[in-house]
Structure formats: structure tokens, C-alpha cells
Amino acid sequence: MRIMGLDFGTKTVGVAVCDPTGLIAQGVETITRREDHMLRATLRRIEELIDEYQIETIVLGYPKNMDDTIGERAKSTEEFARTLERRTGLRVTLWDERLTTVAADEILSESGVPRPERKKVIDKVAAGIILQDYLDHGEPKTRGRQD
């Protein structure tokens, strides 16, 4: 089963997919848009990638606050999850993404990627971290949509 991981931001969406065995996540691309609310082209590109990789489920990074509360970014992510489910017909699982961008930045820094170049790929790497965390931990019955 192929799974897609997404890191949804205000102007970008990092995309990762797993291998056909469901063991290894790999960043695919970063989708960029001009405005936070302009999602039509972003959704269209996600649908193209779903077809290309034969995706069966989506894991969407859920940006909870460090104190485990739900802020505006998390609410926007919940709305995006509902939109994705309606448009694609696929199940979307929200997955705690706290500190994934920090981890992605550290990985890129340790790999010697210059800061200007990191900005171009950090969301794709963060999506890979979100998806790999999901793959490593499976999906316990208590996890999933948190609306």
C-alpha cells in the first residue's frame, strides 16, 4: 500500500511517498503557491501525484502547539484534511508533526546543504520525516483524524 505524507504550510506543501512495501519514506517535491488560501493548483498537483504513485491513503502533518493545544495553523490543517478527503476520496490521517521542520533543518545542515538551498527542500524533507514517523509507529486505533 502506497502512502503519501504531506507537510502543509502557509505557502508550500512538502510531499513524500513511501515505497511499495510501506517501509521507507522519500521526499518527492515541494508545491508552492502565492497565497495561503489559493489551493486549487496545489490540490490538482496532489491529485496528479496520487495517480502517479497509486496512493491509497494520506498522512498529513498536524501542527499542534508544544503544549498540545490546537492553534490556528492546526485548524487550517484540519480544514485542508477535509478538503483533501472530499476531493480525493482517500482517508486522511492527521499525524503530530511537532519539531519536524527543526529536524529537517538539522538533517540538511549536517548534510552540508547551504541555508539558501535548505529553504527550497525543507518542506519536502519534513514531509518525509512525518511519513517515516507514521510508518515506524503504525497506526494505533487511538490515532487518526482528530477533529
- Contacts with 91 (C-beta within 8 Å, 6 or more apart), sequence order: 57, 58, 85
Q: What is the pLDDT of residues 23-78, one digit of tens each?
A: 999 999 999 998 767 899 999 999 999 999 999 999 999 998 888 888 899 999 99
> Do the Cβ atoms of 53 and 45 come closer than 8 Å?
no
Q: Which domains does the chain have, with CATH numbers?
A: 2-137 (3.30.420.140)
Q: What is the pLDDT of residues 106-129, one digit of tens each?
A: 887 787 877 877 777 778 988 999
- What's the confidence (pLDDT) of residue 141? 35
Indicate the pTM of the whole model: 0.85
φ, ψ of residue 31 in degrees (nearest 5): -95, 130
Cα separation of 68 and 122, whole Å? 24
Q: What is the pLDDT of residues 55-66, one digit of tens each?
A: 999 999 999 888
C-alpha torsion angle, residues 84, 59, 69, 63 (rounded to 10):
-90
